[in-house]
Chains A and B, each alone.
Chain A
Amino acid sequence: MTTEELQDAIFNGIDKLAAENKISHLSTQLISRYSGISEGKMLRHIPSLDKVITKWLKGKEAEINNFLNSFPATKAELLIHINLLVNKGDIATLLLSSNLDPLLDIDNLKKARKQLEKHINDVIKQLEDLPDRPTADLANELMFCLKAIVETNNAESQRKKASLAKDFPWEAENELFPAEDILKRLATNESGFVFDPVSGRSYTANETAVSILQLLRETVNTSTIVDRVTEEYDVTREAAERDILEFAGRLRGVL
C-alpha cells in the first residue's frame, strides 16, 4: 500500500467517524478501527497524525464551501439541499455538531456555520405561506432540528429526519401524533384499557382519550379532531386544542 493509499484509507476512516458524529476525541486507536489500518502501520508510515487530520479537515472545508456556494433560493431546493447535508453525515457533523475534537482547528468551520445560518435565514425570508412567526424563529427551529438529527440517534431524531425529507419542521403538523401504523394497531377497549400488541405495553385511558384514540384511527388531522371533540363535548375550541396537543405529546412519549 502506497502512502497515498494509506492516507486515503485513513481519510475514509475519519469520514465514517464524522458521519457517526464520533470525532469528539480523535485517537489513533479509533481511526485505526474505522479505517482498517493497524495502529502500527499508521505509526510507521504516517509521521504526524495531526498533519493528516489537518489535511483531512482542509479537504472537508472545500466540500463545505462547495455546499454553501450552491445554496438554493426556493423552498423545494432548500429542502433537497438540507436533506443532502443530513444524509452526507460527515460535513453535517462539521457544520452542526457541538462534539468536535478540541484539537481540530475550527476557525474556518465557525465562519461556515455562520454562513449556513445566514443562508437558511435568507431563503426562509423569501418563502410564502409561512406561519405568523418571525423568520429568525423559523430559521432557529430548522437549525435546532438539523442539530438534533446530527447529534442524536434515537426514534425522535429518526422521525425528524424522515419528516424533514418532505416538510419543514413548522409544516409537519401530521407528525403531532405517533405514526399511523402504531395508532391503528392499538387494541382500544371502551372500558379504557389500551394494549399495544407489538410493544406489549398496556395503558388506561379516560373516556375522552378513548374517543380521541378511536378518531385517530380515521384521521390524524388536528383540526378535524378538534372539531369532533368540540361537537361531542361541552368544551371551547381553545381548551380542546390545548388538551389535544397535550394528549398528542403524551402519546408520542409512551408509544
Chain B
Amino acid sequence: MSQNPVIAITGMNAKPDNPGPGMAVARCIKESETFTGKIVGLSYDALDPGLYRPDYCESTYILPYPSSGEEALLERLTQIHEVEKIDILIPCLDAELQAIARLKPTLEEMGIKTLIPDQEQLKMRNKDSLPELARMAGIRTPDVTRVTSASFFYTCHNEGWHYPLVVKGLFYDAKVAYNADEAAAAFHKIAAEWGLPILVQQFVEGEEVNLTAIGDGNGNMLGSVMMKKRAITDKGKAWAGISIEDKKLNDAAAALIKASNWPGPLEVEVMLDTAGQYQLIEINPRFPAWIYLSVGVGRNLPYALIQNILGTTPEFPEYKVGTLFIRYAEELIVSLDEFESIAVNGHLGLNNSNAPK
C-alpha cells in the first residue's frame, strides 16, 4: 500500500437537520497532522455539499443509489478505483452497509480495504435483534416487538405494553405515540414509506447519551468518545453536544463490542432512564455525524481507523471532557461548471486529481 493512501468516504450529504457523517469523517482525517494521503468523496445526490469541498476531498464521485443493487455499486466502485486506486473505503451510511459487507471479499481482491462488520454482525444490531445482543452484553434495552397490523395498538395493553410507545421503521424513522390513535397513525405513515413490519418499542423516559468508538474485530474497543446532546434538530439529531466521560457507558459499549466482536466504527445510543439505568436504544454501524468532536477532544477516531487498517497501533490520549460542539449551516458557493461536472459526469476533480475531467 502507498505511503500516501487514498481514502474513499461515502455519505457526503449534509442537510443541516440531518447530516451524513462523510464530510465530518473527511474533515477529521484531513486535520490529522500525519495524514499525507488523498480523500475521494462519494455521494448519491448532485446537491450534496461534500462533493464540492476542495478542503476535504481531492476528487468526488456520484454513486448509484443503494436501490440500484450491488452490481451497479460494484461497477461504479470499479470505475472509480481504476482512476483513483482506492486503498481504504469508509462507508458512512447505514443503508449501504449490507451491500458493502457482501462486496467486501471482492473489494479486498481489488485492493480496497475496509473495516466493517459482516452481514451476521450487522443483523445483530438490527433494531429487532437488539434485545438479544443487549442480553449478551448484560445491558438493559426496552422491550421491542414486530407488528404487522395497526390493531395491535388497541389491544397491546393486554400484553403488558403501555403508552407512550415508540413506533419505528425497520431501518429508518421513529415516532413517539402517546395513545393508540397516534400509534396507528404513525404505523400507517412509516409503513407507507418504509414498508412492514413495523417495530414497537417501549418508550424510555430519560436522557440520551451517545458513544462512538472503533471495534478491532477481536472484541476490543479502540478509543471511545462520549457525548451528551445539548440541543437537537426537529429530527432529534444533535445540533449541539458536549463531551462527557461516564465509566458505566464506556464499560457497556466495551461489553457490546466484546459480545459481537465488532469490527470498525460504531455509534452506541443509550438512554439514561429515570431510575439511573442505561437502556440500549440503537447501535449504528458507522461513525456518527458528530464525529468531528473526536478531533475536538484530542482523539481523532477516523484517522485512528485508517492507522488500524494500515497496521499501525493508534494512540488514544485522555480526552478533554466538557468540550462543546455547535453545528451550524452555511452556504457553499458552487460554480455552474462544477455542478455540471457532477450532474453530467458524476465526478468532480477538486484538487490535484489525476482523474479525467
Residues on A facing B (Cβ under 8 Å): 22, 25, 27-30, 33-34, 153-155, 157-158, 187, 195, 197-202
Contacts and interface: CB of A to CB of B under 8 A. Distances in A.
Nearest to B226: A200
A201 B230 CA distance: 8
Given A30-B158, A157-B275, 12 more contacts: A22-B160, A25-B157, A25-B158, A29-B158, A30-B159, A154-B274, A154-B275, A155-B274, A155-B275, A155-B276, A198-B246, A200-B243
B196 interface: no
A195 B230 CA distance: 13
8 contacts: A22-B160, A25-B158, A30-B159, A33-B159, A158-B275, A195-B322, A200-B209, A200-B242
Contacts of B230: 200
A187 B275 CA distance: 24
Nearest to A159: B276
B147 to A, nearest CB: 15
A199 B243 CA distance: 9
Interface string B148-181: 0000000001111000000000000000000000
Interface of B: 157-160, 207, 209, 227-228, 230, 241-246, 272, 274-276, 321-322
A23 B54 CA distance: 63
Contacts of A34: 160
Given A154-B274, A155-B275, A158-B276, A198 B244 contact: yes
A221 B79 CA distance: 72
Contacts of B207: 199
Nearest to A196: B244
Given A29-B158, A30-B160, A197 B322 contact: yes
Nearest to B321: A197
A201 B228 CA distance: 8
Contacts of A157: 275
B240 to A, nearest CB: 11
Contacts of A30: 158-160
Task: Give the 7 A-B CB pairs with smallest separation, nearest first.
Answer: A200-B228, A154-B274, A200-B244, A29-B158, A197-B321, A27-B158, A29-B159
Contacts, number: 47
B227 A200 contact: yes
Contacts of B244: 197-200
A28 B159 CA distance: 8
Contacts of B209: 200
A153 B245 contact: no
A33 B276 CA distance: 26
B244 to A, nearest CB: 4
Contacts of A195: 322
Contacts of B243: 200
A132 B319 CA distance: 52
B218 to A, nearest CB: 29
Nearest to A30: B160
Interface-central residue, B160, B209, B272, B321, by most chain A CB under 10 Å: B160
Interface-central residue, A22, A28, A197, by most chain B CB under 10 Å: A197
A200 B297 CA distance: 14
Interface-central residue, B227, B228, B272, by most chain A CB under 10 Å: B228
A101 to B, nearest CB: 13
A91 to B, nearest CB: 21
A202 B321 CA distance: 12
A25 B274 CA distance: 24
Contacts of A199: 207, 228, 244, 272
A54 B180 CA distance: 31
Nearest to A187: B322
Contacts of B276: 155, 158
A27 B157 CA distance: 9
A33 B159 CA distance: 7
Nearest to A156: B274
Contacts of A197: 244-245, 321-322
A88 B295 CA distance: 50
A134 B228 CA distance: 47
Nearest to B249: A198
Nearest to A22: B160
Contacts of B321: 197
